[in-house]
Amino acid sequence: MIMKKTLGHLSAIVLSVLCSSPGFPQQVRVVPAESAGMSGVALNAATERLQQHIDDGDIAGVVAAVARDGKIVYFEALGYLDLENAIPMPADALFRTYSMTRQITSAAVLMLYEQGKFQFDDPIKQYLPEFEDQKVLRDPNSTDLRQVRNRIGDITVAHLLTHTSGLGSRGSRLYRENNVRDKNITLSEMVTNAARVPLFHDPGTQFRYGIHATILGKLIEVWSGQPFEEYLQEHLLNPVGMGSTMFWASEEDLDRLSVVYRPVDGRLRSYQIETIPYTMRPRLIEGGVGLLSSVMDFMRFSQMILEGGLFNGDRILQEETVALIYENAVPDQAMPIGGTGYWQGSGWTLGGFNLVLDNMDYNFSVSTGTIWWDGSAGTRYFIDPVQGTVIVIMAQVSPSSGGGFRENFSNMVDAAITDRR
């Protein structure tokens, strides 16, 4: 039996969840979709489509929320947190966000930029001397560490923020063979190991999605004098009311940690996706992939960005800094950042976001100018300054496609906008 848990757009349950959430902006209220220029009927259809994905075995459960102009118009929790034990999906479920961690780390970097701790064009060797003499592979497809040449130019902070440093992806064979992403090493050890491995290309010349945000976590420690996770907690997560965002789940949070599923022979099976579970503190705290979070926490973070750095009347980031989050910062010579699909129509910002430069290259509905990203286990969010919308959707499935549930949901939310700008 498939269970459906529909909270309803104006139910007392939703109002209780939102209003009792610590730090949620008072100006964000649950309202009828029509009062925000959207169709409640169309949003109900989006719920039915999500439920169909659950019924079809694409995903076990999902939590999704939509806001427009600072007003919550949609908030649903459907299906199961734990399919085998028939535990319903709670509205405050915890999800492995993976690459959605990057924007949180980047926001913390921008806060330190505002304090004058660094400039974007500063060479990182100024703060991390391990990168002083890093070489470049003659052939980026090689794993032969002897076939290297001198680097042309230095890695800057901006290169790390835009994935143009020459560092590689966390899953690369070269990094696996050289202990760059071992969860049993510390952040300092990871940085040292990454600096020993040659770059894949010269800094600033190509876009290569990779381990940059984890290196940024170490820079945050250097600039702030605090452990990375402590700085995040004190200066960003607490002020934005992100009480469900953490690098590991404590015992009291385990009952809302979603199980990851993988399709096997037409059925969803639980899947141990990580070598060290999120139920214990890892030695390596990763700024690129490490956070657990909830839909409402990412709604708060997104709303802060959409409102120009304000949260609940408090200034988190300056407006001029937030403007950088909406601008493509990839060097011209590294564009386009990809040759197919949405990569071809995208840029990357200093806020760690994918930026939609041309929505015609996308196979799902999105406005040009939207910033967004997702995680490799079924999470995604959009901040659309044109339509004034935020969409956050989270499930736990690997591979993350889940029958296209995220694309279908964002398409139906876009179609629900009746007052289009």
DSSP state letters, 238-266: TTTT-TT-BSS--GGGGGGBPPPEEEETT
What is the model's pLDDT at position 4?
Answer: 37
Single pTM value for the model: 0.92
**Cα–Cα distance for residue pair 242/291, rounded to 1 Å:** 12
Cα separation, 414 vs 19, in Å, equals 26
Domain assignment of residue 175, yes or no: yes
- Residue 29 lies inside a defined structural domain of this protein: no
In a domain, 268, yes or no: no
- What confidence score (pLDDT) does residue 41 get? 97
Q: Are the C-beta atoms of 158 and 329 separated by less than 8 Å?
A: yes
DSSP letter at 283 equals S
SS3 at position 309: coil
- Ranges of the chain with pLDDT below 50: 1-28
> Environment class of residue 90 by beta-carbon count within 10 Å: exposed (0-12), middle (13-18) or buried (19+)?
middle
Q: Is residue 332 part of a domain?
A: yes
Q: Domain check: are 46 and 56 in the same one?
A: yes
* Residue at 255 is within a domain: no
Residue 57 shares a structural domain with residue 137: no
Pair (46, 146) in one structural domain: no
Tell whether 88 and 232 lie within a shared domain: no
Structural domain includes residue 261: no
106 and 80 fall within a common domain: no
Examine the domain organization and report whether 386 and 357 are in the same domain: no
Domain identity same for 128 and 202: yes
358 and 403 together in one domain: no
- In a domain, residue 226? The reply is yes
Flag whether 270 is in a domain.
Answer: no
Range of the domain at 205: 96-247+282-291+311-377
Contact 156, 122 (CB under 8 A): yes
Angle, vertex CA 417, rays to CA 301 and CA 388, nearest 5: 30
Q: How many CB atoms lie within 10 A of CB 364?
A: 15
Instruction: Write the CB contacts of 410 (distance below 8 Å, at least 6 apart in sequence).
Output: 364, 365, 366, 380, 382, 391, 393
| CATH number of the domain where residue 167 is located | 3.40.710.10
Q: How confident is the model at residue 276, as a pLDDT?
A: 78
Q: Tell me, yes or no, whether 149 and 38 share the same domain.
A: no
State whether 340 and 219 are in the same domain: yes
Both 202 and 118 in a single domain?
Answer: yes
Digit-coded pLDDT (tens) for 104-121 = 999 999 999 999 999 999
The pLDDT value recorded for residue 24 is 43
**Residue 22 confidence (pLDDT):** 39
Predicted confidence (pLDDT) per residue in 125-147, tens digit:
999 999 999 999 999 999 899 99
The answer on 82 and 181 residing in a single domain is no
Gyration radius of the chain over CA positions: 21
| Total of domains in the chain | 2
- Three-state DSSP state, 44: helix
